[in-house]
Structures are given as C-alpha cells and as structure tokens.
Structure 1
Amino acid sequence: MAPTHVLRCCQRGLAWIPVIFIALVVCWSYYAYVVELCIFTIPSIGEQTIRYCDRCQVIKPDRCHHCSACDMCVLKMDHHCPWVNNCVGFSNYKFFILFLAYSLVYCLFIAATVLQYFIKFWTNELPDTHAKFHVLFLFFVAAMFCISILSLFSYHLWLVGKNRSTIEAFRAPVFRTGSDKNGFSLGFRKNIAQVFGDQKKYWLLPVFTSQGDGLTFPARLVSADAEQATVTLHPEPNKSAAEVPASPLNDSQNRLLSNDQHANNITEHLANNTLKSDENETITISMESES
C-alpha cells in the first residue's frame, strides 16, 4: 500500500509540471512584453549626448562598450573571445587577426603534410599500427580547424575593409544624421591603415601599428549643423595689401562712415584716375612730337 501511495503522489506531482511551465512562460512573456519592451526600450536621442557606463562609472568614448565577462569597458570593442579569455578591441585587434592568420597557416601546413599518410592509411598501404589512429585524427582536427578559422578570418578581413567591429555589424552606430553601418568607413586603403598602420612592412609582424588613440575616430559623415557649416565654409585667408589694392568702395560698407566722407573718397578716386589719364596723354604727345 505504501509504495502505491508514494507512486500516486509522484504522479500527481509530475502532473503539475506542465502547469508550472505554462505559468512561468506567461510570467516571462509578461515581463518581456511589458517591462523590457515598454519601459526599457527608449528611443535614442543622440543629439550631443555623452555616453556613460553605469557599471564602471566612467564616460564611454565612441565605439567603446562594456564587457560583462571582463567587467570593464573596452575601447572599440569587437567581441569577447573565449579562446583567449580576453576581450578583442582597439589595443589587440591587429594581434587577434594575426593570431587567426598564423593559426590558419599552421592548420594548412599540418593538413597538407599529413594528407599523404592519411591516404595511405585509408587505403591500407601502410601497416595497421597505433599511428593510424593518431594520423587520421590529426588530419580531421586540422581540416576542421582550418575550415572554421578560414571562415572567421575571412569575416574579420571583411570587417577591416569596412572599418566595422562585430558589434557594429549587428547594431549600426548612431550619428546625428541617424544610424549608419558605414559611418566610420574611410575607403578600403584607409580602413586597412586604421588597423594595420601605414607601413606595410609591419603588417604581418606582431607589433602595435594601429592608428589613433582609441578615444576618437574619423568618420565619413558630415554634420549639417550651422556651426559646422560655418567652419566648413570658412573663407580662404585674405590676400596681402600689395596684391589687392585698397578701394574706397570698401569703406562704404562701414555703417559708421558718413555720406560726406564717402563722397570725398569717390572724388579723390576720380581725381587720381584723371591725373593718371593726363600723364598718359602727355607722354603720347611728346613721343609724337619727337617723331
């Protein structure tokens, strides 16, 4: 009797599992729809705002993000890599790409050199020894890592050509004119120089040659503000006084100048022109008389 009673209690307890599951799903859906969607989803108003990290209690520059795994803000954060147990950002992004390149070359070398022994073991041309398992397993591992690293390496080379990070590829940065994934793109060559530097001889060497300081980055967007438009359309420096003669008409632009002074300036200007014309005529007459 006792085992039967315990079994029935267990069955009744298990029967409540779907009910509890449905209740949890309803509670979660309410939280996701009401709290997260309606309360914490705030439209971004990025007009001259300052990005601030509540966890680190510091101001976040552009392209800086907080890593929950490292519990710190990372400049130009790309992603958190569990294979190196570190964040990939401005200070080590070039080294991460070189790490992928070196690993790809290593896997290709292992797969290429083991391929002939793999074929011989697979066709039973070599004796069946303990080395067979190691050679077969080594080739499969090298080929698997080669394919995965090649895809990851190609993707990050594409990001370098676009001057984007992995975070910016999924979530476009917001500028004053709106969100734009290509906001930091300066052209293919300049984008590569942003990560690898200007000197090509250092591109494949594990030395830091990235441009900038990680705090500010050049952008291709031009704001249409009145202040920036004034700076952009700033006139060229005035020429020297020797190149541009002073004109009385310029004095008339001064609002404090009286009409009498303006008339006197015009009279003097006409008198000077008359004297010059008289001198030219005198010279012409004297030359004709001598001839």
Structure 2
Amino acid sequence: MSSSSKRFWPKKLSDWGAFIFVQSGIHLVGFYELLVILPYIDSDRSNTFWFHVCFGLCLYFNTISSFILVMRTDTTTSRDGVIMPSTLKPGWRFCSSCEANSPPRAYHCWCCDICILRRDHHCVFTGNCVGFANHRYFILLIFYIMVGALYCNYLNMDYTLEVLGGFGLKTVFTMFMPLFSWMLGLTQTFNFLVAFVSALCLFGFLLAAGLLFYHLINIYHGQTTYERGQNIREWDCGWKQNVRQVLGERWYLIWISPWIKSPQGGDGINFPKRGIFEDVKDL
C-alpha cells in the first residue's frame, strides 16, 4: 500500500455524491440497528443482544476498513516501486495523456486522469479505480455490504411489519417506494423512515449480491470488466491461479478481515498467459 502522497479522495462531483450517499447509508443503518432494532428485539440486554452488537460491529469495522483500503491503496502505473520502461515493449501501449508507456491490461481512467494497473473499472462509490492492488478490497467491500444488508433485513423484518401494519399491498408499496408513499400521504413520517431504512437494506443487498456475483465470475475466468466485454481470455490460467492473482495466496482466509495479508505474487505489469500451466504439466 502506497503512502498518502497522492490524492485518493473522490475527484468528480458525481463520485462525491455516490460516496456520501453510501457512507451516510452505512452509518444510518448502523445506528438504526443499534438504537432501534436491537432494543426492540431484546430489551433485557441478554447474551443474544450482545452477540448481535459484536457481530454487527465486526461487519461495520470490516466494511469501513475495506472502503479505506480501496481508496488508500495506490493501483496506478506511477505507484511506489513501479518503473515504466522508456521503450515500447510488445503488447504495451503508449498513453498520450500520461506521456508514458502502459503495460498490458492497464488502461487510462479519465476520472482519475492516470493509467491504472490491470484496470477493472472506476468505482463511483469510492471515487477511485479498482485495479491490480485494490481489487481484493473492492470484492471484500461488496461482500461485507451484502452480508451486512442481509443480516439487517433479517433483524428488521418483524419490527418493520409491525410499524407498517402487517404484510399487505400497502406495506409492499411503502417498502419499495417509501418516498412516494410518504408524499402521497399513505404513511406517516416515522413509518416512512422505518420503510426507508428497510428499503435501503433490501436494495443494498440486491445490488451488492449482483455486483459480487458478476465480479466473482470475472475473477473465475481471469478477466477484468473490460476483458469480459471484449471476450479476451488470454489471461485465463485456471480458476485457482485466477483467484490467487486477485485475492492472493490466502484467498480462503481474507473473508474474515480485509487486514489479513494475502500476497498476490505479481507486480501488476507481468501476467502469466493462458496455457502456461498446461504447458508445464505436459513437460
């Protein structure tokens, strides 16, 4: 992870909007669960209450940590320890914007205004590109958001149905369209807030689950988002090697915490190509 000499905060207004929305949603849901839902579930503060508190705080800590690591990990071609050659090598490209040679799988991001090593995509929610060095943290971020949202939906179910008057067409409409329901006078302000938080958890789960599934499929096939769109398969070295290139050697442990070290064993410039491991086996 690079030092903080470069800016990693969102740079565009749209990125700032998405970043503030997600951060506000995470903190809002966290305080809602702690101050409203958990006292409702267990007002006596039994062992169950403290289990939910501890588990929720772990999810919260891992989610915020993943956010920080995605933003603070330098994945650019100018990151510390990376020196681009002055001569254009086969398979490399010259980036006129950076005025430097760019290695395979690296592309220029017009939002970040720099080339990104093994660029996957620009994440508006963090205001940074997802590439070689921080791809793992992005996967963990959406994983923790998915698990946290699912967990909150489970905790919120009984309280939400009680506040909204039981399961029915009006409740479903209020859950999926809380703002319109409130504007049309179908629900009171407090009910709107309860429905809004519940809807935030529901749609957060669906969005995170969809993103996680999509990106895990890409990792399984050894592709970035761009390479999947162009049907580029030359970097597919088998699912185990593909997973290790993104999630590191300890890919089976990183789900516990983003702070668990898991070396990727690469430099973001040179990547094994499809067939190399099969050729070794043939020997």
TM-score by length of 1: 0.53
Amino acid at match of 2:203: M
For the pair 1:201 / 2:243, whether they are aligned, the reply is no
Q: Which ranges of structure 1 fall in alignment gaps of 5 or more residues?
A: 1-46, 173-180, 223-231, 237-291
**Which of 126, 146, 159 is equivalent to 1:84?**
126
Distance 1:197 1:124 in 2: 47
1:212 aligns with 2:276: no
Superposed, 1:51-200 pairs within 5 Å as 51-123=93-165, 131-172=190-231, 181-199=232-250, 200=252
Conserved 8 A contact 1:195-1:211 = no
Q: 1:51 to 1:129 in 2, by over 3 A?
A: closer
The CA deviation at 1:156 is 0.5
Deviation at 1:194, TM superposition (A): 1.1
Give the distance between the partners of 2:157 and 2:130, measured in 1 at CA: 34
Distance in 1 of aligned mates of 2:241 and 2:112: 31
Give the TM-score normalised by structure 2: 0.55
% of aligned pairs identical? 30
Paired position in structure 2 for 1:229: none
2:182 matched residue in structure 1: none
Q: Do the aligned partners of residues 124 and 162 (structure 1) sit closer, same or farther apart at CA in structure 2, a change above 3 Å counting?
A: closer
Question: What is the deviation of 1:205?
Answer: 2.6
Aligned-pair Cα RMSD in Å = 2.7
Q: How many residues align?
A: 170
Q: Look up the SS of the partner of 1:201 in the other structure.
A: coil
Alignment deviations for residues 133-159 of structure 1 (CA, whole Å, 9 cap, x no partner) = 222221111111111111111100111
Q: 5+ residue gaps in structure 2?
A: 1-88, 168-186
User: Greater relative contact order (Cα 8 A, min sep 6): structure 1 or 2?
Assistant: 2
How far did 1:204 drift? Answer: 3.9
1:49 Cα shift?
Answer: 5.2
What are the equivalent positions in structure 2 for 1:2-41 lying under 5 Å apart? none
The residue that corresponds to 2:178 in the other structure is none
Structure showing greater Rg = 1
